[in-house]
Every structure is written in C-alpha cells, then in structure tokens.
Amino acid sequence: MALLEIKVNGREHRLEVDATANLLTVLREQLFITGPKVGCETGDCGACSVIIDGKLRRACLTNAMSVSGSEITTVEGVGEKGALHPLQTSFYENYASQCGFCTPGMIMASKALLDRNPDPSEMEIKEALSGNLCRCTGYVNIIKAVKAAAPKVSDQGGEK
C-alpha cells in the first residue's frame, strides 16, 4: 500500500492505495467518483478520460501513485458549483448523448480541446475526440454540441 495525495475536482484527498492500482479504480472504488467509466481497461475507448494537471489522460492506463500531488478534473468537476459547464448544457441541448456511457469521457476530451483552442474547426474537434468511442454512433450531435459550446466557453474568459 502507498499514500496517495491528490486533488480531485478541487478537493484534497489523502488515501492509502495499492501501489499498482490504476487511477480509474481509485477514483471509482475508493472515492466513489463514478463519472469516469470502465469501458475497456485497455485505453481504447476513452470512457475513463479525465484531465490531469490540464492534460487529457486515460484514467485506466494511469497508475494512481504516478500522479500523486496532481490536480484531477472529472466530469463531476467541470461545472462551477451549482451550474453546468457550457459543454454540459450544450451536450444536453444538442442531444449529444444516447446511452450516455461515453458522455463523461466525451465532455472531458472536449473540455481539454476548448481549454487550449477556444475556436476549433470541425476537423480539430473530430481529431480531439478521435480517442473516444460512442457505440450508439451519435458523433454528429456530439460535434455539433462542442461547436455550439465553444463561444460560450471563450466568453467565460477561458477555463480555470
């Protein structure tokens, strides 16, 4: 066992973890943060995508101890307290979810994109989401939602 110190969605955590545990297991099974989903555990589907120190990462491929001291954002932490993030509103209004299982990962990948590129082209959106699978194949509406959210995210003066 090892001592992990991480900040998740603005909240500090100190917890004992198995030194070999991946971040996805720790988030879900020890912190009960279940937004990141278990889709494949091999880094192929993107359902577990989270943002670690500003970078989009696969929680299932990330050893938890390797990110000790880091700041992590999951879908639960993208909005301000009591308000949805523009991407969340936009996904909701543009019917960008069907079964919803890929949605948390899609939102994190979209957020990582808009944080570094506030006005992406359709091609750039597609490229940014290329690591996230939606088996309901609702990609058209997902891309529409990211496009619609982009000006609203930049209006907020970028993201924290």
CA 146 to chain centre: 14
Burial (Cβ within 10 Å: 0-12, 13-18, ≥19) of residue 137:
exposed
In the complex, least distance from residue 108 CB atom to other proteins, rounded to whole angstroms: 10
Q: Is 35 in the site for other proteins (CB under 8 A)?
A: yes
Instruction: Select the span of 51-59, 64-72, 111-119, 128-136 touching other proteins (CB under 8 A).
Output: 128-136
Give the other-Cβ count within 10 Å of 78's Cβ.
22
| 87: nearest Cα among 16, 156, 34 | 156
CA 100 to chain centre: 13
Binds other proteins (CB under 8 A): choice among 45, 56, 64, 112: 45
Q: Which is nearer to other proteins, 68 or 98 (CB)?
A: 98
Q: Is 38 in the site for other proteins (CB under 8 A)?
A: yes
Q: Which residues bind other proteins (CB under 8 A)?
A: 28-29, 32, 34-42, 44-45, 47, 74-76, 79, 84, 87-89, 91-93, 95, 97-104, 107, 133-136
